[in-house]
Amino acid sequence: MAGVFDIDLETEDVSDTEEDFYDDSVTEPDNVQKEEVELTSECVNRDSEKVGPDFFELLTVLGKGAYGKVFQVRKVQGAMSGKIFAMKVLRKAKIVCNAKDTAHTRAEREILETVRHPFIVDLLYAFQTGGKLYLILEYLSGGELFMQLEKEGIFMEDTACFYLGEIILALGHLHSNGIIYRDLKPENIMLNHQGHIKLTDFGLCKESIHDGSVTHTFCGTIEYMAPEILTRSGHNRAVDWWSLGALMYDMMTGSPPFTAENRKKTIDKILKCKLNLPQYLTIDAKDLIKKLLKKNPTQRLGSSKADCADIKGHPFFKQINWGDLVNKRVEPPYKPQLQSDEDVSQFDTRFTRQTPVDSPDDTSLGQSEELTFAGFTYVAPSVLDSLKEGFSFEPRMRPVRRHNISPRTPNRSALFKCSPSSC
Ligand code: FS9
């Protein structure tokens, strides 16, 4: 499932580290006169271009599923002409069939507008045609963190510490906005061109599996899901800290903490199996994993009002300067090897080899379905700033694309497994 999230309306005040991150390239002189302007979608969109599918040239397919596709595109008109983006295209007719999917789609667009964070993907534009919804997102050329993890097998503790630190800051920020990510796993964590973390996919399942059976009501990987999600016994933001623990275990041992040959057995293990920690982990790593993988969410580290602050203060992160980390002043452990802005070598060739086509779909839906997506259109304030400055990226000649030659290496399998005796 791709980043299914909840907007947790009951979330209490969770303090955020918002003042920690800032764009230090912008400084304002003291004598500048300021005018207060209320930001509404009307005034935000007023002076901007009316962007549509024609503004984007399709370059490559990055992902595909039952609801739509994700393309790498180049903007070919107006502001930021020549710049590369990711374009998510969703079929309205597919989405409106299911009330939950409709809610998730609307929420993704709203979350991406609300949330600005260095480690969360940026939304630049949102628009729609009769049959489709479009999100224009920053292009993340580093690909999935999963790819890097597959390549390395396991991460050194310093490497894991860096990635986990950036993820904690992103999750803490979501929580402080009342949002639970709910589906943290290596496939949903992307890297930008510098190798920094970006959480993406706040929307639908990549596949649509709605057969109603208990084990298949969750689509995609379940290995990182908290017990209380799997039992549907009510959950809160502590589910994200469980997933962080499962991810940490995976990064350091080569597989998630509870795995089995099928989904039912995996769920059984997540619910009942005792955690088995390999000896080679440091005391601090073992202690943090144990505290994050508490089956009872009220006992889990991060479940208190302090949220991520409790995790940030754990000795495992003692060498992290959180201010430097949030301001991207810490060098990422791996810098993606990229030839150009449009390099797709970090993506799966199963997708990138496909011919990119966005089939025309101007199906007109019924009036009530049409209303479902009213107010979807959006232009980011950063785009308007660039318009004011007359900013434009010159289109470049497109170099010959290099495809990723090697498939994912299977060297992470069963490096360390939960022994039957511990269950
Ligand atoms: N830059 C590069 N890659 C991004 N990806 C994140 C999403 C990935 C994906 O395949 N998503 C996906 C979505 C659907 C849906 F139906 F919802 F449209 C179906 C199938 C797959 C692809 C890689 C990315 N995201 C933001 N910037 C990015």
Residue 88 Cα to ligand 1 midpoint, Å, equals 7
Residue to probe by mutation, ligand 1, list 5, 56, 67, 70, most atoms within 8 Å of CB:
70
Q: Would residue 1 count as lying in a domain?
A: no
Residue 354 Cα to ligand 1 midpoint, Å, equals 15
Identify the residue whose C-alpha is closest to ligand 1 atom 13: 206
Q: Is the CB of 140 under 6 A from ligand 1?
A: yes
Q: Would residue 368 count as lying in a domain?
A: yes
Q: Is the CB of 219 under 6 A from ligand 1?
A: no
Query: What pLDDT score does 66 carry?
Result: 85
Percent of the chain with pLDDT over 90: 60
Burial zone of 390 (CB within 10 Å; 0-12 exposed, 13-18 middle, 19+ buried): exposed
Distances (CA, A) of 405 to 147, 227, 343, 372: 13, 38, 14, 43
Residue 220 Cα to ligand 1 midpoint, Å, equals 14
Based on the fold, state whether residues 154 and 100 are members of the same structural domain.
no
Query: What pLDDT score does 410 carry?
Result: 34
Based on the fold, state whether residues 212 and 323 are members of the same structural domain.
yes
Angle at 196 between CA 202 and CA 239, to 5 degrees: 40
Query: What pLDDT score does 12 carry?
Result: 43
Summarize pLDDT for 3-36 with one digit per residue, the tens.
444 544 333 445 554 445 644 444 344 444 445 5
Q: Is the CB of 86 under 6 A from ligand 1?
A: yes
- For residues 166 and 216, the answer to whether their CB atoms sit within 8 Å is no
- Location of structure tokens 């710049």: 83
Q: Would residue 26 count as lying in a domain?
A: no
Say how many CA atoms lie within 13 Å of 211 toward its Cβ: 7
DSSP for 52-120, please give it.
Answer: -GGGEEEEEEEEE-SSEEEEEEEE-SSTTTT-EEEEEEEEHHHHTT-HHHHHHHHHHHHHHHH---TTB
In the DSSP assignment, the letter for residue 359 is -
* Residue 301 in this model has a pLDDT that exceeds 50: yes
Q: Is the CB of 63 under 6 A from ligand 1?
A: yes
Based on the fold, state whether residues 122 and 190 are members of the same structural domain.
no
Q: How far apart are CA 84 and CA 401, in angstroms?
A: 14
Query: What pLDDT score does 207 carry?
Result: 52
Q: Would residue 376 count as lying in a domain?
A: yes
3-state secondary structure of 158: helix
Q: Would residue 408 count as lying in a domain?
A: no
3-state secondary structure of 356: coil
Strand order in the sheet with 84-91: 56-64, 68-75, 84-91, 132-138, 123-128, 378-379
Q: Would residue 348 count as lying in a domain?
A: yes
Based on the fold, state whether residues 202 and 334 are members of the same structural domain.
yes
Active site residue 8: no
Phi, psi of 271 (to 5 degrees): -75, -35
Give the domain CATH number at 330: 1.10.510.10
Based on the fold, state whether residues 135 and 175 are members of the same structural domain.
no
Q: How far apart are CA 123 and CA 189, in angstroms?
A: 16
- For residues 80 and 349, the answer to whether their CB atoms sit within 8 Å is no
Based on the fold, state whether residues 326 and 365 are members of the same structural domain.
no
- For residues 274 and 423, the answer to whether their CB atoms sit within 8 Å is yes
Q: Is the CB of 90 under 6 A from ligand 1?
A: yes
Give which of 400, 423, 146, 144 is closest to 274, Cα–Cα: 423
Residue to probe by mutation, ligand 1, list 146, 200, 348, 359, most atoms within 8 Å of CB:
200
Residues in the chain: 423
Based on the fold, state whether residues 65 and 107 are members of the same structural domain.
yes
In the DSSP assignment, the letter for residue 124 is E
What's the whole-number mean pLDDT along residues 388-392? 50
- For residues 131 and 362, the answer to whether their CB atoms sit within 8 Å is yes
Pick from 141-155, 160-174, 351-365, 382-396: least confident? 382-396
Write the Ramachandran bin of 136: left for phi over 0, alpha for psi from -120 to 50, otherwise beta: beta
Could you tell me the residue range of the domain that residue 367 belongs to?
43-141+344-388
Residue 320 Cα to ligand 1 midpoint, Å, equals 31
Task: Exactly one of 16, 183, 201, 250 is catalytic; name it.
Answer: 183
DSSP for 197-249, please give it.
Answer: EEE---S--SS------TTTSS-S--TT--HHHHTTS---THHHHHHHHHHHH
Summarize pLDDT for 231-289 with one digit per residue, the tens.
998 889 999 999 999 999 999 999 999 999 999 999 999 999 999 999 999 999 999 99
Based on the fold, state whether residues 167 and 48 are members of the same structural domain.
no
Query: What pLDDT score does 134 carry?
Result: 95
Average pLDDT for the chain? 82
Summarize pLDDT for 325-341 with one digit per residue, the tens.
999 999 999 999 999 99
Helix (H), strand (E), coil (C) string for 280-304: CCCHHHHHHHHHHCCCCHHHCCCCC
What's the whole-number mean pLDDT along residues 30-53? 57
Summarize pLDDT for 88-144 with one digit per residue, the tens.
999 998 888 888 888 888 888 888 988 999 999 999 999 999 999 999 999 999 999
Based on the fold, state whether residues 180 and 327 are members of the same structural domain.
yes
Based on the fold, state whether residues 322 and 368 are members of the same structural domain.
no
- Total domains in the chain come to 2
